[in-house]
Amino acid sequence: MDRNLLIRESGFRWRIEPKGPMRVPGILYADESLIDGMDVKVHEQLSNVAMLPGIVSAAYAMPDAHWGYGFPIGGVAAFDPDAGGVVSAGGVGFDISCGVRTLLTGLPCAAIEPLKQRLADGLCRDIPAGVGSEGSISLDEQQMDAMLAGGARWAVEQGWGRAADLERIEEAGRAQGADPAQVSDRAKRRQRDEMGTLGSGNHYLEVQRVAEITEPAVASAFGLKLDDVVISIHCGSRGLGHQIGTEFLRDMAIAAAEYGIALPDRELACAPVSSPLGQRYLGAMRAGINCALANREIVTHLTRKTVMRLLPDATLDLLFDVSHNTCKEEWHVVDGRRMRLFVHRKGATRAFGPGHPELPAAVRDVGQPVLIGGSMGTASYVLVGTEKGEALSWSSACHGAGRAMSRHQATRTWGGRQLVRELAGRGILIRSPSMRGVAEEAPGAYKDVGRVVDVADAAGLARKVARLEPLICIKG
Amino acid sequence: MSGWSHFGHDADMGVRADGGTQEEVFEQMALGMTALITDPAGVAALEDVEITCEAPSTELLLVDWLNALVYEMAVRRMLFGRFAVKLDGTRLQGVASGERVDVHRHQPVVEVKGATYTALKFHRRDDGRWEAQCILDV
C-alpha cells in the first residue's frame, strides 16, 4: 500500500481520512514495512466498512490486516444499535468463531522428545482432519439443538472436557442469546458428523515449546514456563458456521436495499441490529459460536486422551480459548460515555486489559491471554490484553501472521514433501493428509508473525508474553 | 474452447472461467472450484446429484450454484468432476457427477467454506463470449 494514501498519526497508527460516504475514519496499526507489504485492497475494504450505518469512532485494521472479502481480515468495527447500527454476516465471515486455544502440559520439552514420533502419529490418527473426515460423534436433532445452545458447557456435560476449562473460555464457554431455531436444517445437516474435527486450510493442532518469555510475571500467572511443552488448537465452527454464513450473507445482501443500506461491496451484507433479520442472524451466529466452542472442547478431549496414553503426567489444563471471527455485544466507553456496541472482529482477537469484569478471576489481575497462531514451522505467540487497548481498538489485537503470498503462488514455489523433509530437519514433525495442502500452507507464504506481534506490542494493542515454537504440527 | 483458471487472493482463492454460453461458464466455474480441492480429471463420475437454484440475478445464481455444490460435497463427503447445467432465465437445473472422497487417491487440499460476493462478476465480453469470476473462502 502506498503510504501517501494514509496520514501517520503516530509511530504505529495510520489514518484514512473520511471521504465521500465514509462516516468515520479508517485507522491502521502497523509500521512502515507492514504498510508497504499490505495490499491496497485493505485500504479499499477498510474505507468500505467505514461507510456502514451506525459505525462508531473508526474502522480499525490490526497489524496483520490483509485483503479479505467484505471486511479486511484483521478488521474491527463497532456499531451502535441505537443509531441504526448494523450486524454484518460479512463482518463475521464463514468460519464463525474460528479461534485458538492453548493447553499447558506441565512437562518440559525433554519429557516428550523420546516420544515425539509416537505422539505425532497418535495425534494424527485420533484427531480427524482434512477434507471428507468425520468425527466419531454423530448428533441427532435434539442433541444438535442442545449443543448449539450450550457450547463448550454442553460438551463438558456430555463428558467431553473438564469443568475447569469453562472459566478459561470467552463467555465461560457458552455464548448468550444463541437461538438454534434460527439455524437452518441444512446447516445442522452439514454439522451432523463434523463434531470434533479440525477442518482444513490453515487449521491445525500443534505441539509447541515455550521458546522465550518476555513478561515473566504475566507468564507465571498464565502457567507458562520456559522450555515447557504446550499444545495449541486452531479450528472453528465447521460446516455449520460456513452454512450460516452462506445463507445470511445471501439474505442480507438481498435485503439491504429494503433497509435503505447502500452496500459498497455486496460481501458487507448486513442488517440493522434491531431488525428481524439482524436478530435472526445474531441468534444463529451465536449458535455458531457455541458450535465452535463445543468443537474445540471435543478436539481438546480427544487430544487429552491421546497425550495421556503416552504421557500420563501431563496436566493438560486449558490456558485460554479465544475466537477471532465474531460479533459480540459489549460495553465500551465512547467519549466518556458507556455504550452498548456490537463489535465485529474478523481475523482479530478480543484482548481485554487487566481488571476487566468479564475476565475469569485467575487472569483478571494481569489481563486476557491473547493467542496468536503461526503457520506450521513458524512461531506462535502468547500476548496479554492492555488497558490502553480499550481506547485504541475496542480491546482488540491481531490474530496471526496473515498471508504474504496467495495459495496459488505458494504451490508454484514449494513442494509439500520437500517442505516436510526440511521441517523434519529442523525437528518439526508435520502430519497432513495432503502434500499440496502443506505446500499451500508453507511458512514462507505467510508474513513474519514476529513483526506483526512486535507492532501489536509497540502500538499498545497487547503486550508480548511468550514465544512458542512448533515441535509437531497436525495439519487439516 | 471453454476453460477455467485460478487467480490469487491474499487469504483465499479466485476462480475465473469463460465459455460460449452462460451454461458453459457455470460448468467451468464448478470445475475450477473442484480444482482448488483436487485434480478434476481424477474424480470418477460414479454418482449423479441433481441441483436446482434460483436467484434474482445471474451473479447471485453463480454464488448459489457454487454454494449448493459446497453443501453437497460436505454432506455426501463427495467430490465432483463433471457438471451439466441448464438455465431458464435465472433458474438453474444442474447435475454434478462424482464419487466419495478417497483421501489417498484424491489428496484433497482444502475444504471450500463458501463462495463470496467479493470481486464477483458475470458478464458478456466484447467478443461475445461469457466470463465469470468469484472468490472462494477456503
Q: Which of residues 389-408 of A touch B (CB under 8 A)?
A: 402-403, 405-408
Question: What's the complex ipTM?
Answer: 0.93
* Nearest in space to A367 (alpha carbons), one of A402, A401, A322, A336: A322
| Contact (CB, 8 A) for A449 and A234 | no
Going from the N-terminus, what domains does chain A have, and what CATH number goes with each? 3-404+446-475 (3.90.1860.10)
Give CA–CA dist B58/B22, Å, rounded. 9
Length of chain B: 138
The answer to whether residue A234 is catalytic is no
Nine cell digits for residue B105? 487417491
Q: Which of residues 310-369 of A touch B (CB under 8 A)?
A: none
pLDDT tens sequence for chain A (476 residues): 999 999 999 999 999 999 999 999 999 999 999 999 999 999 999 999 999 999 999 999 999 999 888 999 999 999 999 999 999 999 999 999 999 999 999 999 999 999 999 999 999 999 999 888 888 899 999 999 999 999 999 999 999 999 999 999 999 999 999 999 999 999 999 999 999 999 988 899 999 999 999 999 999 999 999 999 999 999 999 999 999 999 999 999 999 999 999 999 999 999 999 999 999 999 999 999 999 999 999 999 999 999 999 999 999 999 999 999 999 999 999 999 999 999 999 999 999 999 999 999 999 999 999 999 988 879 999 999 999 999 999 999 999 987 778 888 888 899 999 999 999 999 999 999 888 889 988 988 888 899 999 999 999 999 999 999 999 999 98
Q: Distances from the Cα of A259 to the Cαs of A278, B107, B116, in angstroms?
A: 11, 45, 21
pLDDT of residue A404: 79
Going from the N-terminus, what domains does chain B have, and what CATH number goes with each? 15-126 (3.55.10.10)
Distance from CA of A466 to the nearest CA of B (A): 26
* Nearest in space to A52 (alpha carbons), one of A74, A25, A81, A22: A22
Residue from A301, A356, A399, A408 carrying the catalytic annotation? A399
- The C-alpha cell 465461560 sits at A172
Q: How many CB atoms lie within 10 A of CB A1?
A: 20
Phi, psi of A307 (to 5 degrees): -65, -40
- The C-alpha cell 514456563 sits at A225
Q: Is the pLDDT of residue B1 over 70?
A: no
Helix (H, G, I), strand (E, B) or coil at A55: strand
Q: Is the pLDDT of residue B9 over 80?
A: no
Distance from CA of B81 to the nearest CA of A (A): 16
In a mutagenesis test of the B interface, which of A34, A62, A131 is the best target, namely the one with the most B β-carbons within 10 Å? A131
Give CA–CA dist A49/A59, Å, rounded. 6
* Nearest in space to A370 (alpha carbons), one of A401, A349, A346, A347: A349
Give me the total of CB pairs closer than 8 Å, taking one residue from chain A and one from chain B.
128
Helix (H, G, I), strand (E, B) or coil at A371: strand
pLDDT of residue A217: 97
Give CA–CA dist A278/A155, Å, rounded. 28
Q: How many CB atoms lie within 10 A of CB B130?
A: 21
pLDDT of residue A406: 80
The answer to whether A440 faces chain B, any CB pair under 8 Å, is yes
Cβ–Cβ gap B107/A254 under 8 Å: no
Q: Which of residues 78-107 of A touch B (CB under 8 A)?
A: 90, 93-95
| Contact (CB, 8 A) for A101 and A322 | yes
pLDDT of residue B11: 67
